């Protein structure tokens, strides 16, 4: 079993949307069974999953005080991939989750405030000795700042080549428990998520 943690101390970078999309894509790609865990007290990922009609991915309640044991139970049950959403702000709560990660995905929006804020998350992940990948998320198509952000992030670690752009279908799909590709198989957002998942999976297999 491999555990993917999605973390960034800054709110509004799209962690929850990515968590749901990547978990569904992992199932579609045959990497499952997949389990989702929501460690954010706002419960946005839980709310999304409760709206789903599909039975996969499964959802597991996150009990941080027994997270290691919970992951062991999921592995014993045959789960292959666990995707964990985290709250904003660097805290002991995030530290606990990062400590069990095989790989940490750090989504970053291409803007100066987001780039400046990512440092605390990077230090936390590096301090835990975990592998990490940056994902440029919520980008404006053909905007120069997107490439500049990717270059800036590459100074600190690996940047996923698949950039997730800001599109209506990407955000709107989270309303009723589906993902962009489940709304439209030809979705450009869905294609970006598919490419991102393949890249992440190739790194998870090395963990």
pLDDT tens, residue order, the chain (207 aa): 999 999 998 888 999 999 999 999 999 999 999 999 999 888 899 999 999 999 899 998 777 888 999 999 999 999 999 999 998 876 778 889 999 999 999 999 998 889 988 999 999 999 999 999 999 999 988 888 998 999 999 999 999 999 999 888 887 878 889 999 998 888 899 999 999 999 999 999 988
By DSSP bridging, strand 164-165 and strand 103-108 are: unpaired
Most distant CA pair in the chain, distance: 47
User: Which domain does 161 fall in, by range?
Assistant: 2-204
Query: How long a stretch of residues is the chain?
Result: 207
Contact 39, 50 (CB under 8 A): no
Q: Using N-to-C axis directions, what is the helix angle for 15-28 and 44-51, rounded to 10°?
A: 40
CA–CA gap between residue 77 and residue 173 (Å, rounded): 29
Q: Which tokens go with 32? A: 């499952």
pLDDT of residue 87: 85
Q: Give the pLDDT score at 90.
A: 65
pLDDT value of residue 77: 96
Distances (CA, A) of 31 to 20, 81, 128: 15, 7, 26
Q: Give the number of domains in the chain.
A: 1
Give the per-residue pLDDT at 191: 93
* CATH number assigned to the domain comprising residue 51: 3.40.50.300
Give, as one character, the DSSP assignment of residue 83.
Answer: E
Strands 131-139 and 2-6, bridge-based pairing: unpaired
How many Å apart are CA 81 and CA 26, to the nearest integer? 8
Burial class (CB in 10 A: 0-12, 13-18, 19+), 92: exposed
Q: How many CB atoms sit inside 10 A of residue 82's CB?
A: 26
- Which H or E run contains 194? helix 188-204
Asked whether the beta carbons of 169 and 187 are under 8 A apart, the reply is: yes
Q: Give the whole-angstrom CA distance, residue 170 versus residue 32.
A: 22
Is the full-model pTM beyond 0.85? Answer: yes
CB 193 within 8 A of CB 179: yes
What pairs with residue 3 in β-bridges?
82
Residue 171 pLDDT = 78
């Amino acid at each position: 079993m491999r555990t993917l943690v999605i973390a960034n101390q800054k709110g509004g970078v799209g962690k929850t949307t990515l968590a749901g999309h990547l978990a569904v894509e992992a199932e579609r790609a045959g990497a499952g069974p997949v389990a989702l865990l929501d460690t954010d007290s706002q419960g946005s990922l839980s709310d999304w999953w409760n709206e789903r009609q599909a039975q996969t991915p499964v959802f597991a309640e996150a009990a941080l005080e027994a997270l290691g044991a919970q992951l062991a139970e999921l592995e014993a049950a045959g789960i292959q991939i666990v995707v964990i959403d985290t709250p904003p702000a660097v805290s002991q709560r995030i530290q606990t989750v990062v400590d069990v990660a095989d790989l940490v995905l750090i989504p970053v929006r291409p803007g100066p405030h987001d780039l400046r804020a990512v440092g605390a998350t990077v230090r936390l992940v590096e301090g835990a000795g975990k592998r990490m990948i940056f994902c440029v998320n919520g980008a404006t198509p053909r905007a120069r700042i997107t490439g500049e952000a990717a270059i800036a992030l590459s100074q600190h670690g690996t940047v996923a080549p698949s950039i997730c752009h800001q599109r209506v279908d990407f955000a709107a799909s989270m309303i009723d428990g589906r993902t962009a590709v489940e709304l439209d198989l030809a979705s450009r957002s869905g294609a970006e998520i598919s490419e991102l998942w393949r890249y992440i999976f190739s790194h998870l297999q090395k963990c």
